[in-house]
Chain A
Amino acid sequence: MEPLIMDIRAEDNKYLHKDFHITGDNGLLYVGEKFGDNGVREYLYQFTKAFYVPLFEAYKKEGLKALLDHQKNLYEQEEMPEVFHAELTDDELTITIDKCPAVTFMKSRGYTPSKWYIELTRTVGMAIADELNLGFSLEYYNEEDGACKYRYFKRSY
């Protein structure tokens, strides 16, 4: 038989491997079971501080708009820009998500996200806000479909 050959270059395909959502949640589940809720928070704070350095730099120049652009881009990358809604004022960024692309994908594969999956919104949001000296509030989160609303706001003391 003739051999089967796949010979591809990076530019031949879009980088979008949604199975990573399941592997990512597996990581949260493992850390949660081994190290508890605080372990999950510690891990996600570590990740956020290490990875989002360019976002923190952009915030210094552009303020809340940098955060808006970053969040909006996530949903465009996931090919579900229509679920993303935002309101931006001088002091506050409010984001509403109709349904989460990651939860939608995981459930389509018969996989139920762990109870720690919410922390990718709550803890990562808080960690970003802490780094930027902002307040953060998760107004609601629906575990069924990941629909949520959250706010970043300038603190007033």
Chain B
Amino acid sequence: MVSCTEFIPMYSELFKFIDGKGGGHDAVERYWIWVGEKYLRYNLEPLVQEKGMDGAWEYWTRSLSEEACDIKYVYDRDHEEIKSHMRHCPSKGHLLEYTWMEPYYDYCGHCKVLYRQTLEDAGIREEYDHSGVDHAECRGCLYKIANGGPRPGWNTI
């Protein structure tokens, strides 16, 4: 068995393996789309289909806690937005700690692709600010597609 605590380096090596098989980053992105459809049907999909933004809040507050994130996560129910400031992402953080390994160069790219279709099927979209991923920091905003986009200042919490 490989422990779930060893999953992150296994994931990063998977991206490198797929990328190196000739398809490059496009092949990795196809994997992220595939795994989003496959994996999220067991957890995120039923929650957002049934409860919309409340389901997204329920899913991420659990998974972000289990991943021991350092994060501020704010659900503005009046404007149907969930804003996040990941002060230190444990996944990217672990990869940076494993100094003997080289992380996949776009490791954090999976977050942008993995959840996209499942969320859009439930009328939700996410905006990302990945400018700080080199030191394991990022921001995001989930919003209802019907509302047109995130409100100004979403990436300043």
Q: Chain A: residues with CB nearer than 8 A to chain B? A: 1, 3-24, 26-27, 29-31, 34-35, 42-43, 46-47, 50-51, 53-54, 74-75, 77-78, 97, 100-102, 109-111, 120-121, 124, 146
**Closest Cβ–Cβ distance, residue B76 to chain A (whole Å):** 5
Secondary structure of the B contact surface, majority rule: helix
Interface centre among B4, B66, B69, B101, by most A CB within 10 Å? B4
The count of residues in chain B whose C-beta lies closer than 8 Å to any C-beta of chain A is 48
Q: Chain B: residues with CB nearer than 8 A to chain A? A: 1-11, 13-14, 16-18, 21, 31, 34-35, 38-39, 42-43, 57, 61, 63-78, 88, 90, 98, 100-102
Within the complex, which residue of A4, A22, A74 is in contact with B74, where a contact is CB–CB below 8 Å?
A4
Q: How far is the CA of A101 from the CA of B39 in the complex (A)?
A: 19
With A50-B9, A77-B4, A77-B5 given, name 11 new contacts (CB 8 A).
A8-B69, A11-B68, A15-B66, A18-B66, A19-B66, A26-B39, A30-B18, A77-B3, A78-B1, A101-B1, A109-B43
Within the complex, which residue of A14, A22, A74 is in contact with B1, where a contact is CB–CB below 8 Å?
A74
